[in-house]
Structure 1
């Protein structure tokens, strides 16, 4: 399974880096300037060299490094690594993530700042894709432990993105990845069974993808959006990741959707990487990404380590403070 586990992180990074130069552009604009984006491009949005990853992969690296370094899910350590990354002055960071991490840097508690910010945000600004983009390492680490996967996915999301749609979006993505890694025939269906308490809008969006995957509905009936809303990002990422005929097609098609290209393609890439493995991703993309070796090693380590959730941590995380209502 190590090829598929590495594929999750590498696919995420490939989608992130391929989408970065055309982020915020619409499909027609991308086509006019670049045709179909199949190669790593330099410059563009954020003005970075070809193959440069963004906050999607950088924060996923924080999560993966924490899991490997701690040997279990430690939200304090994850939050500390997020803050350390924030202090490196990243060129790409979401507004809510930046706001919460600034509060953590200034001494607020990891399990309070994100929830407090969420409570004061208006609808439309409170459920972005800033946690679902980074959560994939948990899908590898806890592929065989569904209860821990749910807890880690929700709590890690709530560090910055406490909205229930964000928390359960991470659960659905990670459970889908775990199902793929475990060889389940219908991994998204299994994920939805695990996420029975997810908000209705989120479940409906994912159920629409599952209907296409199982053949009961036509893809022509699905209208994908390309915004930074967690529900539409997850829907588009799952659709491309689960239905494409190759990992490259999944990522390219996600980028060509336009809009929040790096994150939608990162989600699609993680799913496609789990489906097709690292060996199914293009070598030419790997050569452009400086972090390829570390991502490969971390994916393999997460796959083989006996990670756990210490009882003391589990007790602290059982609090209903994370059971928020959208």
Structure 2
């Protein structure tokens, strides 16, 4: 049985790996009903992508430094992109444009928290996909914004990350799905009184019909889709398969949804069948390393 921290992190990584073979495929042009391999990137089952690499890079920095150190986290991101650290097979096969440009700015001497693009077209999902570890630590909204800004500096990206962290924390407080989503939205509205209209479309997106849900790499679409999958399914497996079968940015939508679902069913699953399938975890590349890092992270958080 995974502890709550490992359930959240493996929730991200397993979802990521399930989606990797189907990335960029058009909705309803395929059917995903299990964790498989090959596909888009021609990689074996259990291979995770940049979503998980950057999540692990963030965790490793927090464990080693004992706190949030944005310069150190950015150094880990550089190690991932430049030297294939935090990867399953010593190879970087997937990186978003905004993230790539941000790390290049860092390599050229830009201050870490100023590296993320600030234009409206810089609102990809590359910060949202890696932000879950901050839900586990005692950090402020300012710190969440700072970690987001390492690669994505626009307010829309920062608010999406903040809302996601709020939802994850509500799950860990024992709220049900409706409460976790609605209470997080109220907290976000209290924090940001002048909410951008794009962000406002997130509220209630979990009640949409499937045809209304978009699953692109735009951070708003990714968040909407992940929340919809989380809310409208009754187990981790169902959540991930639902996310992947939306098509398009399959790995990231499944990773973002999987983080919440992994947490929720660890704490609220009536039996193990609702939690992350053991046979999926068994396929994950470098799972022993991930378990070890999760255990170190949990020890740090628990004092």
TM-score, normalised to structure 2, is 0.87
1:199 corresponds in structure 2 to 195
Give the number of equivalent residue pairs: 285
Q: What secondary structure is seen at the aligned counterpart in 1 of 2:123?
A: coil
Q: Which residue of the other structure, out of 285, 293, 309, is the alignment partner of 2:288?
A: 293
Q: For residue 20 of structure 1, what is the aligned residue in structure 2?
A: 20
Give the CA RMSD over aligned residues.
2.2
Output one character per residue of 1:73-116: Cα deviation in whole Å (capped at 9) or x when no partner.
111111111111110251110011111101212222112222xx
Cα distance in 2 for partners of 1:299, 1:14 equals 14
Give the alignment of 1:1-326 within 5 angstroms. Answer: 3-30=3-30, 35=31, 37-88=32-83, 90-114=92-116, 117-118=117-118, 121=119, 123=120, 125-142=121-138, 148-185=139-176, 186-196=179-189, 197=192, 199-209=195-205, 212=207, 219-220=208-209, 223-277=212-266, 280-306=275-301
Q: CA deviation at 1:184?
A: 2.2
Q: 1:15-53 CA deviation, whole Å, 9 max, x = no partner? A: 1001001100012222xxxx3x13222221122111100
For residues 170-208 of structure 1, the C-alpha deviation after alignment (integer angstroms, 9 at most, x for no partner) is 111111111101112311222223322173334423311
User: In 1, are the aligned partners of 2:34 and 2:241 still within 8 Å (CA)?
Assistant: no
- State TM-score, norm by structure 1: 0.81
Whole-Å Cα distance in 2 between the matches of residues 130 and 183 of structure 1? Answer: 28
Q: Residue 221 and residue 38 in structure 1: after superposition, are their counterparts in 2 closer, same or farther (change >3 A)?
A: closer
Following superposition, the deviation at residue 306 of structure 1 comes to 4.1
Structure 2 residues without counterparts, runs of 5 or longer:
85-91
Contact 1:149–1:175 (Cα < 8 Å) also in 2: no
In structure 1, what is the Cα distance between the partners aligned to 2:36 and 2:209? Answer: 30
Asked whether the 8 Å contact 1:255–1:265 carries over to 2, the reply is yes
Superposed CA deviations along residues 102-138 of structure 1, whole A, max 9, x for unmatched, are: 1212222112222xx42xx4x4x22110100011111
CA distance in 2, matches of 1:284, 1:221: 28
State the 4+ residue runs in structure 1 displaced beyond 4 angstroms.
none
Q: Distance in 2 between matches of 1:74 and 1:44?
A: 37
Point out where structure 1 has 5 or more consecutive residues left out of the alignment: 143-147, 213-218, 309-326
Aligned residues of 2:114 and 2:153 also touching (Cα < 8 A): no
